Amino acid sequence: MSMMDWDAYRNQLMAGIGDLKQLSPDTVNGYMTASGAGAKTQHLDAKTRELISLAVAVTTRCDGCIAVHSAQAVKHGASREEIAEALGVAVAMNAGAALVYSARALDAVGKAGQ
């Protein structure tokens, strides 16, 4: 059972981005330039970049990014096990951020009482 039809969503998303490109081509072209910049250095292979992208997509809660980068990760040879490991990093990063911000909240509480 799938939570959603990711292929249909990805196609719908790409159509919407195409509409935005017609209205504001520099916005989409600027994104494409930034998105492709890392690949030009070729320090990481495409699979690794997609695994990182997918983990970041989870931490930023971007369904569109998940739709695109999950397909690209598989296209570039990532296994379910490798994807699961990258997602484990995303879980740890979110937990780590919550831990850091918990310390900040306690600091704020301590300052509020003074």
Signed CA dihedral, 88, 89, 95, 99: sign only: positive
Rg (CA), the chain: 18
First to last CA, the chain: 54
Give the helix/strand (H/E) hosting 72.
helix 63-75
CATH topology of domain 6-113: AhpD-like (1.20.1290)
pTM of structure: 0.85
pLDDT band at residue 113 under the 50/70/90 scheme: low
Classify burial at 99, counting beta carbons within 10 Å of its beta carbon; exposed 0-12, middle 13-18, buried 19 or more.
Answer: exposed
pLDDT, one tens digit per residue, over 26-65 is 999 999 999 888 888 999 999 999 999 999 999 999 999 9
* pLDDT score for 1: 77
pLDDT band at residue 2 under the 50/70/90 scheme: confident
Does pLDDT of 67 surpass 80? yes
Does pLDDT of 87 surpass 80? yes
Question: Is the separation of the CB atoms in 74 and 103 below 8 Å?
Answer: no
Domain segments of the chain: what residues? 6-113
Mean pLDDT across the chain: 94
Kindly state the average pLDDT of the residues 77-86: 98
